[in-house]
Structure 1
């Protein structure tokens, strides 16, 4: 009887795991949001894009150039991200990959940011970068988030897990260059300081004063900055 009971439980587990696609979990979204609309004339998207007629597809749909050219780092961050996402390279649609080039001026930083839809692997081609990521909040509120960071030189690679805050900072005396690959055609970019202090409309100052434990004048100053970004 015990064996029969075990087989019954095992069979039920297999049925649950092997259920039809209709019972499976939702796929990860490839856009920030998708508002439902009850309109039969509305366009139907696949991974956030309408698929091109295969008869009209050409080699150019799978091609992009320019990743060999240095990006303009003349911004407050001193860095420039040149990306090849699905909007730049249509052939990436449904493939789940993308690539970026990151240029750094001396002391340039790719500020703390996160990709809500992708993990990332970064390879340094030139210069010296301090790169790392921070874990999510630990279960014990008295414990601190953990930082994983390394000094990277040409040929070194570092991985940033999906959705975690990460950064790169040029600690060398010359410019630096890195290439990163992400496992999403549209990974999304949330630059933390730009999002928090440069949103439109702005977040109420008292929320940020309480959250960051700083004076209101500092929050007002940070919100007054242009926050143009680096990508």
Structure 2
């Protein structure tokens, strides 16, 4: 599992759970959000994701590829659908005090292990050099040291 803030549950259905999905090109996940819960920025390297909101209100978005790096966002309510293109960094945030429930369909029977950006950057083992990250993020090394300790 990866670091999530306020997710009640995450249930995935892919080839690891159901071998019959092999060659079908699909996977499914149910994500239950606590009030104000966050599914942090992450990617699916081998699949486009279609998210359907069953309950609640979510602020969702993704960032387009370099060099544009444009943020595309929307507030979704019950019944709304949103598409996260393959491989792009995306997130979901429950913006209300109630629970939220979503279903995500992915265009691959093996969409790839979710790559959570903060975990990968600040929690790698061994750690990425604070000098490298300080230069990349243009912050003091003490900020990087603090962030790496959180992971």
User: TM over 0.5, yes or no?
Assistant: yes
Question: Paired residues, what number?
Answer: 147
- Structure 1's unaligned 5+ residue stretches are 1-74, 139-143, 227-231
72, 81, 84: which one aligns with 1:157: 81
* Aligned twin of 1:125: 54
Deviation at 1:151, TM superposition (A): 0.5
122, 128, 149: which one aligns with 1:197: 122
Deviation at 1:130, TM superposition (A): 0.3
The whole-number CA distance in structure 2 between the counterparts of 1:126 and 1:134 is 25
Deviation at 1:81, TM superposition (A): 2.5
Structure 1 counterpart SS, 2:98: coil
**Contact 2:39 2:92 survives alignment (8 Å):** yes
- Structure 2's unaligned 5+ residue stretches are none
* 1:104 and 2:56 are equivalent in the alignment: no
83, 95, 100: which one aligns with 1:171: 95
Change (3 A) 1:199 1:123: same
Q: Which has the larger radius of gyration?
A: 1
Q: Which moved more, 1:172-181 or 1:83-92?
A: 83-92
* Bigger relative contact order, structure 1 or 2 (CA pairs below 8 A, ≥6 apart): 2
Report the TM-score, using the length of structure 2 for normalisation: 0.92
The whole-number CA distance in structure 2 between the counterparts of 1:207 and 1:82 is 36
The whole-number CA distance in structure 2 between the counterparts of 1:150 and 1:161 is 15
* Aligned twin of 1:211: 136
Structure with a larger share of its residues in helix = 1
Deviation at 1:76, TM superposition (A): 5.5
Aligned CA RMSD, in angstroms, stands at: 1.3
Alpha-carbon displacement from aligned partner over 1:206-225 (angstroms, at most 9, x marks no partner)? 11111111121121121112
How does 1:1-231 map onto structure 2 within 5 Å? 77-79=5-7, 80-138=9-67, 144-188=68-112, 189-226=114-151
The whole-number CA distance in structure 1 between the counterparts of 2:4 and 2:108 is 28
Report the TM-score, using the length of structure 1 for normalisation: 0.61
